[in-house]
Amino acid sequence: MSEQSPPDGRSDEELLKQVEEELKKLKVSDLLVQMLYTVSSLGYRKLSEEDRDLDQAKLAIESLRALIPVLEGVVPDDVMRDFRQVTANLQLAYADATRE
């Protein structure tokens, strides 16, 4: 069986080199911010009536609470303020969901 080239015609070696170049540009703080956005969105989803999973929602909240202090002083203040507000809102929504 012969190896096929990717659809854009680049070799695996060229693709690997491109990925390595992109990784050099990536900052851990950028990845953590994106991860927090994803975790907060998933946390809200797990509090919705159609996908309710309070254990997963609590895990999302605790993850936010653990990681937000790590980013203090590393990312802009407005981003930190937004994440703190999202965490507070998730905590309130969680408390409401546990009463239902």
pLDDT, tens digit, 9 for 90 and up, residues 46-84 = 999 999 999 999 999 999 999 999 999 999 999 999 999
Distances, alpha carbon 24 to alpha carbons 11, 21, 76, in Å = 20, 5, 22
Spell out the domain ranges in the chain.
27-99
Residue 38's pLDDT is what?
Answer: 98
For residue 65 the two structure tokens come to 């609470």
How many whole angstroms separate alpha carbon 99 and alpha carbon 82? 26
Tell me the pLDDT band of 5, cut-offs 50, 70 and 90.
low
For residue 53 the two structure tokens come to 């999973």
Alpha-carbon torsion, ordered 42, 50, 93, 69, to 10 deg: -10
pTM greater than 0.85 (yes/no): no
Share of the chain above pLDDT 90, in %: 73
